[in-house]
Each structure stands twice: as structure tokens, then as C-alpha cells.
A and B are shown apart, each in its own frame.
Chain A
Amino acid sequence: MLRSPSIRILSYVILLFLAGTMIIPLWTVVATAFSTKFGSLQAGINLWPNPISFEGFDTLFRRLNFVLPFANTLYVTVVGTVAHVLLSALGGYVLIQEDLPGRKIIAGVILLTLTIPTQVILVPLFVVFKQFMLLNTLLSLIVSELVSAFSILLMKTYFEQVPKSMVESARIDGAGHFKLLKDFYLPLALPGVVTVAAFQIVHKYNLFIEPLLFINDPQKITLQIALQSVIQGESSTSTNDFIAPNVTMAAIVVALVPLLIFYPFMQKYLIRGLTVGGVKE
């Protein structure tokens, strides 16, 4: 695009620097995680553990309860994402029905929800979840963002690209709404469905404010909260059993593994999803 060599060099410098701020810290996390307790406490540049040790992971799984939070997060992520995708698809489907009286009003109400961010209504949200008796349940984490305007609008954008003629002939043959959705819109707009699902998986996996607000019961704790308490060293009980950096970093590595498995498959959709939303403006 641009021709001068100085710009090309500058481009590499900028990108190498930015990529470096991602890769190097992540690398040191892994290096620290595989260090011994003693090794992880050493000052200096620790780029390769010497000796390599699984002490951190051992402590993490033997002394701290890290499996239960993982299972809880998995449950919330799977159930929450399935429910979110289905409801968003329903919403998108209704919004593309051009001859539906009141469609503009429905769309307006959905858009209006964008002006109420969770962080602004933390306290009333707590009160309302208490009224619905959802406090201290994993259900509360599935209910929060059960459906969102963002996902509904994304689904709508993708559904609009499904050729009307294909759907019309099926409709004339007497196919109902659910059949149209199941046999036409969902399969034909699959990239959109996967995009919404991918974003929701990341969102549910990373949930932090909601479990912080709604969950007190140690049995219902989720991964990010467990991770936070390991990082802040709250779970340490006695002084000679304090949590060394190798344990904290091992916890981060464990929390990163599902994302790293999931990322290569979903990257295409995660990136495309952004630009679909962005380019529409």
C-alpha cells in the first residue's frame, strides 16, 4: 500500500513491540508456573525454569480447591451459551419479519437496553436477584445476560442475508416458525450463530462482576473468583504454606488452557463478528 522502506520498518517495529507486550509476559507466566517455589521467588529475568517443576500445579490441585470452580464455570458457560444463542436467534428472527405490526417498537425497546450497563445498576441488581431468590445459585449467572441486544442485532444482521426466496417457498408449503428457524435460518446463518456463541462463551468464561455480586457459597464459586483469591493469596492459611508465585502462575496457566484450545477454532468468527458490527455504522 505504502512504498517507503522507512514506513515498512516502522510497521514491523510497532507490531513486534505490541506482539511482544503480549507474548513475553505470557511466556514469563508459563516459565514461572513451571518453576519451583524457590525458583519463582528469585529476582531477575526468569525466561526458562531451572529446574522444571510441577510443584505449582501440585499445590494448586492438592491444597486449593480448583476443580469445583472449574466445573461450575463449565456448567454456566455451556448452559448459559446455549440458552443465550437460542433466545438471541428467536429475537433476531422476530425482528426480520417486516410485516409485523409493532416491529419498530420492539426493536426500540431492545435498543433501549443498551443504555443500561450492568456496572451502573450493581446495587439494584443485587436487590432484584435477591427478590427472585437467585442469590447463591449458579442459575443467577445463567440468567444474567440470558439474552442481549448486541446478540439479537448480530443475529438479525446475519438472518437478513438469508435469501428471502428460499424461505418463502417453505413458508408457502406450510412450514411453521420453528421449522423455518431450524431448517433455514440457523443453518444458513451458521457463521452468525457461531459468532454469537463464541462471544458468549468468552463472556461467560470470564464472568467476574456477577459471581462477585451474587455468589457467596464456596460450593458455587466460579473460576475467575477462585483465580482472584489465589492471586491475592487469600486462600493461604498458615505462614509456611503461603502461596508462592509459581502457584499463582500455575492457576493462570490452567485458566488459560480452555481458551487456548477454543481460540484457534473460533478466531475467525471472533474477528469477523467484530467487523460485522463495526462496518454497519
Chain B
Amino acid sequence: MAGTALSHLRICDFTGQLAGAGATKYLAAMGAQVIRIEDPVRQGRWDILRGMPPYKDDRRGVNLSGAFNNHNVEKLGCTINLRTEEGRDLVRRLIAISDAVTENFAAGVLARMGFPYEEMVRIRPAIIYVSNSGFGATGPYRTFKTWGPIVQAVSGLTFSSGLAGRGPAGWGYSYMDHHGGNIMAIAVLAALLHRNRTGEGQWVDMGCTEGGAWLNGPAMLDFTVNDRPLRRPGSPDSNRSDLPAMAPHGIYPAAGEDRWVAIACRDDADWAALAKVVGEPWAADARFGALDGRLAAQDELDVLVSGWTAGRDRADVAASLQAAAVPASIVALPEDRIDHDPGTEAWGLWPTVEHSEMGEVRVDGLPMHLSATDWEIHRGGPCLGEHNDVVFGEILGLTEAEIDGLREAGAI
């Protein structure tokens, strides 16, 4: 049993990877009936995560990917071959009873498979269609292909992550696949609210690179207002904070190999509190008492703070600063934040699902709790075609013989 918030809604879902599947994972955890459609001919491998590591044990196969499972919990999975007329008819029947159609194919792919927006509207006039491709459905790059790192590169997010003089560090994962999914979910929800008020559906055209470019606003205004580009000597230096200005502000070495602690002094009061915790003569230097002085001496300050943190346990540094109400945190390893963090444990952030082949597996939960209609995640991601009988039988009302016929015809 998933949540109940959206249990009155049904999604005809062609999404995959994370940039699309993440959106419908959210909707499913909130209770929407998400019917994920995959291609039986390619064994669902359009979604490259099907069959990809990590694996829970020594077994391999399209149903055993920990990544796929993580992004597809609480969905129903069925297989439909859109190359066949029978398959296209099944999709028509699903659209006819759905509130929204979601997909993140390259632009135009679903239309070429026989389902342009106009066809969806013919089947279901108030349908909401949300397409999410790298560059959107229009414009000179509409046919260009992306995955997370490409979206991040073109949208400016790769560039804006790095240390002075070292070139882009970028994001060590597909940050924009997460937010592609989140922005897509917002698009579905906003379109549903509009439909509730007006009775109208619409085609929401989302380009993931625009979603990424939208996440660097203040830096972009510094250019359009002040002619000051982020690409300038010494910039960016994203462990520091110039938007807004803070110092010291950085990630400092701690005892142990590759162990770090983050410290942010928001204002002079934070600095005074930090200086007291440090208790060394340099911390009492009057030059550092006000923000302007600390900003002017950031390089020197970073060396001094590093000298204090290096050799100290990262958790001890963070705790001693937190006790003085100064923002500080260990740089958490996955193990730290998943297995040894009272914050995530109390939140219930890592629910265990029951997967039909993998057994019990922990997955990412959701970072909000709703007081009346909270999310729930219990069922694992669907194996290929796992819910064919549920979708075609219980939901579409086909008989066993009809379903057998579809199977023999290669339609499912």
C-alpha cells in the first residue's frame, strides 16, 4: 500500500532512467497508480539502468538492478510492443483512463511511435501530457541527446562547481537527473491543479537544460546587471560564499585520510563564537573581527582554520562548533549518513521494499512528511512485465484468453 494523497490519479508512464522515473516515483509514493510501460522486444533496456549495477548479490539480469529498483518503487510494470497495432491499442485504452501521460524520450520519439499529443487529446480530451527531454520539443537543439552530465555542462552547473584555478569539478553524479525528475513532478502537479480548476489538460514541454540553467539565478543576474561573468579569474570558487558573502566558509581537512569538515561563519557573531572555540592567539586578531577584514584575508584565514581542524576528529570539530551555535558539519560518507545518522534514521529516510526477485532492499525515501496523507514505500520496482495481468486484466478488463492472445501476437 502506497500513500493516499494522489490515490485518485492514474499515470500512463513511459519514463525511464532517473530524470523521468524520479518524477513518477514521487507520484507513486504519494499514491498515484503509475503504470510504467516498457518494450518487451528490447527487454526494457531503453532504460539503461535495467540490468545495471549495483546488485544485491551474485545474480545479474534485467530485474536485478539496485538502481532501477530505487527509482521505480511502488509502480506497476507492464510490457507493450508499440510496433504492433494490438500494442498501440492497449496504450490507447490506458490513455483513455489516465490523468496524465509522462515520458522522457528524446523529443518526438513518442509521436513517431503513434502518440503525438493530438492523438492523446483525441482519446482523452483533458489529458495532461508531460514530455521531458534534454533540450525540449522545440528549438535548434531539440534532437540533441543528453544524460545528466551533459545537461549539467550546457546549463552552467558543471562550471559553477569548482575551486579557484582548478577548472570545473562539476557534479559527481547526475544532479540534474534528480531535479529533472523533481521539476517534471512539479509540472505534472501544476497541470493537475489547472485541470481541476478549468477542466483543461495541456502538453507541458520541459527541457532539462532549462531546468538546470534556472538553478544559478543570482550569478546570472550579476552578469545581466553588472556585466560580471562567473567566468573570470579566480572564479568560481564554490566552497567559498560570495553570494552571500561569508568568511571563513569552506571545507577543511580533519584527522584521517580524506576526511573533511565544513564550516560556515554567517556573520560576526558566528566568527566570535568560532574564535572562542578555537581559543588560539590568531583567532583573536582584530583584523578578523568584521566581515570585510575576513573577506580580505580569506586565503590566510583558510590556512589558519585548516591548521586548527587538521589532526582533529571531524565529528568533534563539528560538535564543538555546533555547541557554540556555529554552522558546521562533517563531510558525510554514504555510510555515515545512511547507517549512523540519527537524523535520517528518525526521518525513516531509507525504507525497505520487498522486491519480487531481489527480496528486501533499502531505497531512497522522500524528504518531506505530510501530516495527513504521507508517502509510503513498500513495493519494489517492477520486474519486466510483472504486472501485465493486473494492468491488462484488472485495470483494462481483458480476459485471460485475450491476454494470452496478445502474448502470442507479440504485442506484450
Do A and B associate with each other?
A: no
